[in-house]
A and B are shown apart, each in its own frame.
Chain A
């Protein structure tokens, strides 16, 4: 009995104090609001400006946020959703839950033109092959060089069926190779050490030294340089160009705080939000900063060309392209 009481009280202790007031509620992914993420700082600066309370609700990741919305429908308690990427945008619009933002988007800076009237981007990065500089003397200079290179040097990829970067690389291959993507995958296959369910497994294997290369973002080396003071990892610049990931936010029709939600979206493209993106979310800001980017970001790979399928193209072809990939890779 004493043990039981002890557990019950432990339990209550662990739950911590409940949050009582909320004004603006935003669904986002968990790493955004982790102690080291931009969430806490963004909350502080927005609350100082609006005199309201910002309430983050952390959900696993972008895909999980969208699924949550599909389950909850119009009864979702959020005013805004922050953390979908462009590949999810078409599906998100199809739910009919999102509201046109009607916000001023003049401050948006992206490598591609942006004129979506529902979603507003807040950060971006290109996918890139990150390599271990101690293990790779001559990194591949193009996707072609990666595909056709020495199979003794391995890369870890993510599974497009379960992971966002995995899908990103699949789209990258498709952008460059088009109808010949299946052949390219077949050529690349001997270089692929393994295909992991998510980014963490792949990056974990890579930093353990198990593979010479991994699929990640152009911004990954910035983390190692700034947070770890390490020059061990670098991104390979591919001459064909790089595939882009853009993260976006949008407001929900069911929100009772439309004006405040719109105000947040406009705030999002300014320095109060954007200043925290580079070194807390490790992505490029998609809006105005109050100070220049950290010098390390200037040393990152600048893609000569940007690939990005429209959300509609992705929604229409994703299944067929994944099937094509499965077919080659399972042989």
Chain B
């Protein structure tokens, strides 16, 4: 087949999306850099050598905890994802998958309290051990172990869910063939599952790594002391207490460069997406009956379910005695819910509107073959992700300065411009997830339809409507739900731009927690969980309605 002709509109659209994402980050950094250059410094220079030693230690710890967290989360997610895919109809499977989307959608502080309730000094585990006669209790979680415990809680479900999505796309014909050849479970893993996993692992691991690098509340709260300090903490300190925009910019660039390097290295390890067109018919897998496999899968699923469900249950129990009647009667609660939904919805739409052109452009660019174009493709893949390690406080402060410049200060009329920024930032923050969910689905659709559509002369909107959309619908639904849940619950941008006129549910939770009102906070967190679950369930139903398969 001769190299495909360059598809200019698609490449252009992708280029514009990528440029937009880059511009949002660069503009924030630029605004801070300009401020740093125009305002007198506050004497950070006199301790430069020491700052360097400190910085080096902070960088080392950031990478160490993030690397460990990512390895543990992803490594443990593999058997869990495999078991879930292999057992398509155990009771509670749907609920479990929905629960898996929750940890990331909750404010870190809320999750940390749930984890402490289970694993802490006086938590359920300690209580259980006491009952069994072990008076010493569990080893303390404060320190690296606590950080890992929490990061695995956040990221194992995410990794598992993404892997399940990829493994389920192995065409039914493959299983028919495996049946006919009588492949053993080990062989199946080696020749069928591993290649599919390997194609998505660098992306998934990269995503988890970024989330752990940018971790803030978890690291400080469970880290036990300042020995556990991430670059993100140093940036926060630089911009907040020291108000030293120059140092914040340098630190942010260090974080971006380190992460960008790691992600690029990861991408080199990744195999090209294996697009295997199939007829989308289901065939039973030959490796379901083996008793050891059943036992192993059962253990993996039960362990993961307990690990995720217990802290969530702790949160639900804490909410039992919350004053729901009063909360639901408060106008501010309803306004926060509506604002959250609006921001979440807007962000999700924006996120998908950016993700799709970037994916299409990356795909076409790869087909074009030249080095330049594959560079562009790689930029689309990485560029869309780096936003995750762009500290929200830097984005927020930078954009605050820019917006202020536009109309000379919106301090009083303080809603619409900030709301736009919050939507934009949250939409961008969800982009890496959307890219990872939609990417493989897109590759599949392209592989399955490109030649057919070319021969039928089907292109543009008609091709999208008739050929691509029907198969992509589940991917879009999941990406939308994820993006919306994430921004519904985000605290990064809103914490800086929120005000009495722009308040979201997570912000309200933090406010109540900051004023002794723990019961209110527990009740609101529970409402947030319900909202996310309803959202995910709706997305699933919507994806399934037209049967996703033709």
Contacts and interface: CB of A to CB of B under 8 A. Distances in A.
Contacts of A317: none
Interface of B: 35, 39, 43, 47, 50, 54, 57, 109, 112-113, 116-117, 120-123, 142, 216-217, 220-227, 229, 233, 236-237, 239-243, 330, 332, 335, 338-339, 341-343, 345-346, 349, 397, 400-401, 404, 408-409, 411-416, 419, 495-496, 498-502, 510-511, 513-518
A144 B112 CA distance: 31
A76 B227 contact: no
Most buried by B among A36, A76, A194, A199: A194
Interface in A172-230: 189, 192-201, 203-205, 207-211, 220, 223-224, 227
Nearest to A199: B514
Contacts of A33: 500
Contacts of B50: 323
A220 to B, nearest CB: 8
B517 to A, nearest CB: 8
Given A77-B411, A201-B217, A56 B500 contact: yes
Given A56-B500, A203-B516, A14 B349 contact: no
Interface residues of A, number: 75
A13 B414 contact: no
Give 8 closest A-B pairs by Cβ, nearest first: A11-B342, A14-B339, A7-B345, A14-B338, A77-B411, A10-B342, A197-B220, A330-B227
Contacts of B332: 35
Contacts of B510: 200
B413 A15 contact: no
A102 interface: no
Interface stretch (A67-75, A112-120, A294-302): A67-75
Contact of B109 (A59, A71, A201, A331): A201
A258 interface: no
A31 interface: yes
Contacts of B513: 200, 203-204
Contacts of B514: 31, 198-200
A23 B416 CA distance: 21
B180 to A, nearest CB: 45
A330 B338 contact: no
14 contacts: A31-B511, A63-B240, A76-B409, A76-B411, A162-B236, A193-B142, A196-B220, A205-B113, A207-B518, A208-B120, A210-B116, A329-B226, A330-B229, A331-B227
Given A64-B240, A75-B409, A162 B220 contact: yes
Contact of B515 (A10, A31, A205): A31
A16 B501 contact: yes
Nearest to B416: A15
Contacts of A136: none
Contacts of B349: 4, 7
Nearest to A164: B241
Nearest to B515: A31
Among A22, A68, A71, A331, max chain B CB count under 10 A is at A71
Given A201-B112, A210-B121, A194 B221 contact: yes
Contact of A159 (B39, B222, B226): B226
Nearest to B348: A7
B120 to A, nearest CB: 5
Contact of B241 (A70, A161, A196): A161
A242 interface: no
A196 B221 contact: yes
A204 B109 contact: yes
B35 A71 contact: yes
A7 to B, nearest CB: 4
Contacts, number: 186
A319 interface: yes
Given A34-B511, A57-B412, A319-B47, A326 B240 contact: no
A194 B224 contact: yes
B237 A162 contact: yes
Given A72-B409, A197-B217, A11 B346 contact: yes
A234 interface: no
Contacts of A6: 345
A276 interface: no
Contacts of B401: 71
Interface string A300-315: 0000000000000000
Which of A57, A70, A208 has the most chain B CB atoms inside 10 A of its CB?
A: A208
Contacts of B109: 200-201, 204
B345 A55 contact: no
B411 A55 contact: no
Nearest to A77: B411
A198 B237 CA distance: 12
Interface in A60-111: 60, 63-64, 66-68, 70-72, 75-78
Contact of A16 (B237, B335, B414): B335
- Tell me which of B35, B50, B341 has the highest count of chain A C-beta atoms within 10 A of its own C-beta: B341
A61 B212 CA distance: 27
B516 A210 contact: no
Contact of B412 (A22, A59, A198, A209): A22
A25 interface: yes
A143 B171 CA distance: 68
A203 B517 CA distance: 11
A102 B156 CA distance: 60
Nearest to B423: A11
Contact of A161 (B221, B233, B415): B233
A72 B240 contact: no
A148 interface: no
Contact of A60 (B122, B229, B495): B495
Contacts of B216: 197
B412 A77 contact: yes
A219 B343 CA distance: 37
Contacts of A22: 412
A18, A37, A189, A331: which has the most chain B beta carbons within 10 Å? Answer: A18
A331 B35 CA distance: 35
Nearest to B340: A14
Nearest to A94: B42
User: Which interface residue of B341, B411, B415 has the most chain A CB atoms within 10 A?
Assistant: B411
Contacts of B113: 204-205, 208
Interface in A8-47: 10-11, 13-16, 18-19, 22, 25, 27, 30-31, 33-37
Contacts of A72: 404, 409, 411
Given A31-B515, A34-B515, A18 B225 contact: no
Nearest to B240: A63
A205 B345 CA distance: 33
Contacts of A323: 47, 50
A208 B415 CA distance: 36
B120 A210 contact: yes
B405 to A, nearest CB: 10
Contacts of A14: 335, 338-339, 341-342
A307 to B, nearest CB: 21
A289 B339 CA distance: 39
A38 B227 CA distance: 39
B15 to A, nearest CB: 25
